Structures are given as structure tokens and as C-alpha cells.
Amino acid sequence: MTYPVPAKQVETLYEIKKSKFIACAGFANSRESAMALLDSVKQQYPDARHHCWAYVFGNPNSPISAAMADDGEPSGTAGKPILNVLQHKDIGDIMIIVTRYFGGIKLGAGGLVRAYSAAAQQAIDALEVRQEIKLEPLRIDIDFKHEQFVRHLVEQAQGNIANCNYGSSVKIDVELPLNALEDFKKQMAPIAFSVLAQKK
């Protein structure tokens, strides 16, 4: 259930016939986060004529969503080659933006396709990845005396504690990797008042 995602943002420069192609690759797992990344690149290079991009969200083997934009370049010469590079890499939750500064020499449609592909590929080659683990949310209702034990189990399973509410008992919202769920539920069975799957 894990898949590689960008660990941090990278930026590379590809030059051909005086045209500069600045590629930025980074983590994005929603349209909002992708557009925020695009905005930050546009602010960095406000005088560039084109900011072409593509993204793939979710597991690269079965993406939730993929999109691209030519941003004023001839149709199919920018966004599609960037997306093609992404679709041949085993990396999910990724956005690549290629910013172009025109150097005065026309590259032609074929030249643009090759240049945008090369720029995207260069960014991918420079990218560090980390494993993204899909976490499932659970709400556990327990006695105070078991709180530390539950915290310890969640940490061991490489999960997160999202929230904790104290009342007559302790209600803890946890997020756990899928492969740790069954074991965790078994350990909770004798001590928890309830263990409920949460909606994301």
C-alpha cells in the first residue's frame, strides 16, 4: 500500500537554443496543493511567458487524478510531454511545473515536446523520494490507565495520534497504516470500550 512520493521540492535548469526551461517538481496530493505550488512558481518567475505543468495524485499504479496544462504553448507540446514523463515513473502525489523563457530561436513543435520532456526528466532525476503510507483513521475509547499503552502501540505501528479528548474516558483519534490495523484492533479488544473506523 506504500508508494514513493517527492520528499522535497527540487528545481533544475535545462537550456536549448537560448531558451531556458526551469523545472520544479514537488509534492502535491490535491488540486489545491498543486495550484498553490503553481502560484509560488509564478511569483518566483513573474516575467516568464509560460508555466506549463502536469500532476499525478495518489498511487502511481492507479492514480486518483491526473491533469496537465500547456499554458499558451501550442496544444500538446508542453503539458502532455510533462505528464508522459510522470506516467512512466513510479512516483505518486507529484506536480511538475516547467517555466519557459524564450531565447529568440523557435524550437518548433517537435523541439518543444523534446525540451519539455527533457526538463521534466531532469527534475525527476534530481528528486529525492520517500515512501507514502496510507493511514486509516480510528477512534478508540479507553480508560485513562490505558492511554500510555495505546500511545506506545501507535508509535510502534508508525501511526499518528490526531486528537485526544478527555471526559469520563479518553477518546483518542489515531491514524494507522493498513498493515498494522488488525494487530492493533486485537490488542485493543480486551481494553477498549469501543474502536470505531472514522470517515476521512
**Mean pLDDT rounded to a whole number for the chain:** 91
Mind listing the pLDDT tens digit for each residue in 79-92?
999 999 999 998 99
Give the whole-angstrom CA distance, residue 145 versus residue 143.
5
Asked if 131 and 90 touch (Cβ cutoff 8 Å), the reply is no
Residue 19, pLDDT score: 94
Sheet holding 135-142, edge to edge: 160-166, 170-177, 135-142, 194-197
Binned at pLDDT 50, 70 and 90, residue 99 comes out as very high
Asked if 4 and 92 touch (Cβ cutoff 8 Å), the reply is yes
Return the H-helix or E-strand segment holding 41.
Answer: helix 31-44
Contacts of 44 (CB under 8 A, 6+ apart): none
Binned at pLDDT 50, 70 and 90, residue 3 comes out as confident
40: amino acid identity, one letter:
S
